[in-house]
């Protein structure tokens, strides 16, 4: 495994531009979470959808701060 991959486990302070990008993604995801919560019946699939949405936002954040690495 190369060191570039291991670098992804370090903390990377986002730039102000990256913070704004992360806020935008988070806001859109929050709207989708509201739609899921209001329109999808409670159950395992709804829980999985919410978990995956959260995971999606977290992966987007990583992609934003690691964009040039």
Distance CA 40, CA 18 (A): 32
Cα–Cα separations (whole angstroms), residue 24 to 47, 50, 51, 57, 64: 23, 18, 19, 10, 12
Q: Which sequence spans correspond to the domains of the chain?
A: 14-65
User: What pLDDT score does 1 carry?
Assistant: 59
Contacts of 66 (CB under 8 A, 6+ apart): 8, 12
Amino acid 6: pLDDT: 83
Condensed to tens digits (0 to 9), the pLDDT of residues 4-63 reads 778 888 999 999 999 999 999 999 999 999 999 999 999 999 999 999 999 999 999 999
State the pLDDT at residue 8: 84
pLDDT of residue 4: 73
- Check pLDDT > 70 for residue 69: no
With a CB cutoff of 8 Å and minimum separation 6, the contacts of 42 are: none
């Amino acid at each position: 495994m190369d060191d570039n991959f291991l670098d992804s486990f370090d903390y990377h302070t986002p730039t102000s531009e990256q913070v704004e990008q992360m806020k935008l993604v988070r806001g859109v995801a929050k709207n989708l979470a509201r739609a899921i919560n209001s329109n999808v019946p409670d159950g395992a699939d709804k829980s999985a959808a919410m978990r995956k949405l959260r995971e999606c936002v977290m992966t987007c954040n990583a992609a934003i701060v690691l964009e040039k690495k």
